[in-house]
Amino acid sequence: MNSRHKTTRRKFITNTGLVAVGVTLGASSFGEAVKSNSMSKLQVAGNKFPVRLFSKPLDSYDFGFMCECIVKSGIGGIDLVVRPGGRVEPAVVEKELPERVAEAKKFGLVTDMMVTVISSISDPLTERVLKTASASGIKYYRFNWFDYDLKLGIPESIQKYRKNLKEIAELNRKYRIHGGYQNHAGARIGGPVWDLNELLRDFPPELIGSQYDVRHAMVEGTDTWMLGMRLIASHIKTLAIKDFTWKTINGKPQAVTVPMGEGMVNWDLFFKTVKELNITGPITIHIEYPLLESGEEKLTLIQQQDIIVRKLRKDVDFLNSYLTKYQLV
């Protein structure tokens, strides 16, 4: 996506002609107007699994446009990117974050999750971000990832980062916020998932835990991922949801993210295990496949929105079907 998407919401409304057909698109009234048509069961599923959208794939659009897409897709809130280059810049978090949260609220959207680059209290932005987030109603955030130092050693690397988390835990306690570490495929801490047990052990789960990502877990452990999930279950407080398939690219196997239900994630086993382990918490939908195909970025914004919403709703409906199937709503 390029700078042409930084279109103001006023220009978007004018260009699409929605005002001309009698639709009132003030933020609060838009939220109410769309609610009755786009509200999925996910939004009224209770407190067990509130559903949010990881904002990254829509961050280059005007924020109002993003909110409209999310509401029309039947998603109840935003998992906001608060990191350099994201929707909110950490350096100006005191100004930008409350503004984004307030604007989303006018659309009827909850902003109680965010993604950060927090990894140590030595960064002066860490406390500023957590303090502002807490005051803005955000209850969960995602850490930055930690890299192994192979010269230091694998056990020693984990212990080094445990010291960081111990200090961060005190800030989390102070601001009543939860920090989650996402397991991510690759040679970093959390890739195997088993190492997260050592990283997170002894920390109060309400302060420090895991944002469990079944896609990445299955990439790293096709037949063993559920064991790692069971091992860290008590620390899983948020769930990142997406699907993948294997493809050969330039002669090398690569995991490629696809819409939910079109890949290899064993959704029945996943949700069955979630229920069995009594895991609850917000679900953040991660869209890491193209929302627009080649050439579609030249379409009008209303045409782009129709495509985006259709794809988002497909994932939402798929997720909703499994939450219903396993009586998690």
pLDDT per residue as tens, the chain (329 positions): 444 344 444 444 434 434 333 333 455 555 554 444 444 444 434 568 999 999 999 999 999 999 999 999 999 999 999 999 999 999 999 999 999 999 999 999 999 999 999 999 999 999 999 999 999 999 999 999 999 999 999 999 999 999 999 999 999 999 999 999 999 999 999 999 999 999 999 999 999 999 999 999 999 999 999 999 999 999 999 999 999 999 999 999 999 999 999 999 999 999 999 999 999 999 999 999 999 999 999 999 999 999 999 999 999 999 999 999 999 98
By the 10 Å C-beta count (0-12 exposed, 13-18 middle, 19+ buried), 42 is classed as buried
pLDDT score for 329:
85
Structure tokens at 57: 């794939």
pLDDT score for 150:
95
Contact (CB, 8 A) for 215 and 182: no
Supply the DSSP symbol for 137.
T
Structure tokens at 197: 């047990």
pLDDT score for 7:
46
Domain residues for the domain of 153 are: 3-325
- Which single residue is written with the structure tokens 């497909």? 314
Structure tokens at 176: 């009543």
Which candidate, 195, 204, 124, places its Cα nearest to that of 161? 195
What pTM did the predictor assign? 0.88
Structure tokens at 165: 């988390």
Contact (CB, 8 A) for 139 and 113: yes
Give Cα separations from 91 to 53, 55, 81, 132, 133 (angstroms): 23, 19, 13, 12, 13
Q: How many Å is the maximal CA-CA distance in the chain?
A: 65
- The Cα–Cα gap between 208 and 143 comes to 10
Domains identified in the chain, total number = 1
pLDDT score for 28:
52
Residue 150, number of CB atoms within 10 A of its CB: 9
CATH number of domain containing 251: 3.20.20.150
Which candidate, 234, 227, 220, 232, places its Cα nearest to that of 280? 234
